[in-house]
Structure 1
């Protein structure tokens, strides 16, 4: 019986760890993003749709919707830090993984996306 509880505990811990930090993708919160933007230390990629971007966006962000990112990836500089944002953090996570596959040096997903931007 204790072996069942131990296995259950391990499974639950793995689940929570996976939720906190997606494997292979660094995270940043919106406060860190704001500081880096003020200091011009990061390029910001917004992967939301053009309509979402037009309704509310962060000054200086480059809008490349996720579905067009593969075709437009050359519009970004792979050698500088890239923060990736969407509405909630899911599309930006996919985009972050794609950028990493294309040898972008320092990619960070903005945790919570525009939902957390104030």
Structure 2
């Protein structure tokens, strides 16, 4: 019987942690549709957080590549006084980068809903 209590406590803890992260994420970064993203990214810092090879295969015109794996070292390249528009392939990495930036004092954070795979706008490829 005590095994069931332990199992239930673990499941409840996982659910609570997941819900907390979900709502914290909503507070940290605003997720924009493609149209909303297009309307604002030219006046902001557009950051592609995918790896270099993904970036070279195609990226949104005007984007700068700062991969998640290099973000801690290169965070100073992003100005905290200007809006930051982030995107990755699907939205997971950009959400993680937004959390990192938020902890360092960046407040004006946006991410592309669905990531680059849902983007239908202009792209640049090498």
Q: If the length of structure 2 is used for normalisation, what is the TM-score?
A: 0.72
Shift of 1:104: 1.1
1:22 CA drift (Å): 3.6
Instruction: Report SS of the residue matched to 1:45.
Output: strand
Aligned-partner Cα distance in 1 for 2:82–2:28:
18
In the other structure, the counterpart of 1:74 is: 76
Q: Which runs of 4+ in 1 moved over 2 A?
A: 21-25
Instruction: Determine the structure 1 residue equivalent to 2:113.
Output: 111
What value does the CA root-mean-square deviation take over the aligned residues?
Answer: 2.0
Instruction: Pick one of 71, 82, 86 that aligns with 1:84.
Output: 86
Match of 1:24 in 2: 28
On the 8 A contact 2:28/2:107 being kept in 1, the answer is no
Residue segments in structure 1 that go unaligned for 5+ positions in a row: 1-10
CA distance in 1 between counterparts of 2:115 and 2:65 reads: 14
Q: TM-score, normalising length from structure 1?
A: 0.77
Structure 2 residues not aligned, in runs of 5+:
1-14, 121-126
Look up the match of 1:5: none
Q: CA deviation at 1:24?
A: 2.8
- Contact 2:28 / 2:98 at 8 angstroms: preserved in 1? no
Contact 1:84 1:109 (8 Å CA) reproduced: yes
Give the number of aligned pairs.
101
The residue number in structure 2 matching 1:102 is 104
